Amino acid sequence: MNTFSEVWRKLSNRKYRSAFARTQFKRLVPLQIQALRRQRGLSQEALAEQARLTQGVISRAEDQDYGNLTVNTILSVADGLDVAFVGRFVRFSELGRWYIELSQEAMRVPSFDEENEAMIAPGEQANAMAAAGGKQHADVRFGNLIILDGARTEMAGKGQSSLHGLECMLLTAKPRGGSANAASGGATR
């Protein structure tokens, strides 16, 4: 078993770093897709249906030697598993630690419903559902209301001038059928 210091020593070589990062992505994304599908007790066919893909695409997505997954395929699989995929840039020390600590349990990601049950108390869940009223989503944690009506996405509620992360992205993302400023009321960070 590799230790972090052994991995870090190897990462001092630029060519090794590049190959290591590519290999981790190309092999571990398929491995995690397969692990999550199995943890949920899904066949490839069932996941394909939920992800709106074919069984063949799921098979290739789980093949660690395929190495040609597209972002759209990964996002569709994530949707089928009811999880988010976050492809983000990280320091090599973070990649090295993640690699060292990798296990079946570390790859476990609960679905939104599983996570929601664990995070929201029953009373808060009922209040959020009542506030949602069909085409609205109440974000209990941040006190924001996201209004979805097919053509636009708007944010209304507390603290628009101090939004972070996803809230800020939703405000600045260009909605279908309009400009980003129209959807956000021009609010920016």
Does 100 share its domain with 145? no
Nearest alpha carbon to residue 173 among 155, 158, 150, 149: 155
Q: What is the dihedral of CA 74, 76, 81, 84, to 10 degrees?
A: 70
Whether the per-residue pLDDT at 24 is higher than 70: the answer is: yes
Query: 34 near 58, Cβ under 8 Å?
Result: no
pLDDT grade for 88, boundaries at 50, 70 and 90: confident
In a domain, 115, yes or no: no
In a domain, 189, yes or no: no
In a domain, 57, yes or no: yes
Query: What is the extent of the structural domain holding 166?
Result: 120-184
* 96: Cβ contacts below 8 Å, ≥ 6 apart: 4, 7, 8, 11
CA gap 116, 110 in Å, rounded: 9
Q: Which of 77, 110, 143 is the last residue of a domain?
A: 110
User: What's the pLDDT tens digit per position in 107-155?
Assistant: 788 888 888 888 875 556 555 555 555 444 444 444 444 444 443 333 3
Using DSSP, state whether 146 is helix, strand or coil: strand
Output phi, psi for 157, to 5 deg. Answer: 135, -155
User: What's the pLDDT tens digit per position in 151-170?
Assistant: 333 334 444 434 444 444 44
In a domain, 83, yes or no: yes
Using DSSP, state whether 70 is helix, strand or coil: coil
CA gap 67, 25 in Å, rounded: 9
